[in-house]
């Protein structure tokens, strides 16, 4: 059964820092991996989707990598801003997606 782990559980950084969020999964036979953002009390915002055949995806200041062989993905956020403060969820699987518990990010101005 797929299990997804996210480290760290919480992270607080000053504005402008580059940061990395980590995600690991136990079953490498995934269809895709997605990173989501969730603001308090809100739904999910899809940030990046990496198909199993891909190694990374980029969108603006965000870059996500995927290493299926080691069961790991990272989300890199460049030049963090206070507006980036949210919970970031990693989800992996073969449909349905299995979610990690998330990393709560606070970017301090």
Residues that bind other proteins (CB under 8 A): 31-32, 34, 36, 41-44, 46, 49, 89, 91, 94-102
DSSP-derived pairing of the beta strands 97-99 and 19-25: unpaired
CB of 8 to other proteins, least distance (A): 15
CB of 79 to other proteins, least distance (A): 27
Per-residue exposure over 18-27, b if at least 16 CB sit within 10 Å of its own CB, e if not: ebebebbbee
Beta bridge partners, 21, equal 75
CB of 72 to other proteins, least distance (A): 18
Closer to other proteins by CB, 18 or 26: give it: 26
């Amino acid at each position: 059964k797929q299990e997804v782990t996210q480290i760290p559980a919480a992270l607080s950084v000053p504005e402008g820092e580059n940061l990395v969020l980590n995600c690991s999964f136990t079953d490498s036979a995934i269809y895709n991996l997605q990173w989501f953002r969730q603001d308090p009390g809100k739904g999910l915002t899809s940030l990046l989707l990496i198909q199993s055949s891909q190694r990374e995806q980029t969108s603006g200041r965000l870059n996500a990598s995927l290493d299926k062989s080691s069961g790991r993905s990272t989300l890199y956020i460049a030049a963090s801003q206070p507006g980036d403060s949210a919970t970031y969820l990693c989800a992996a699987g073969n449909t349905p997606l299995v979610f990690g518990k998330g990393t709560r990010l606070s970017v301090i101005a």
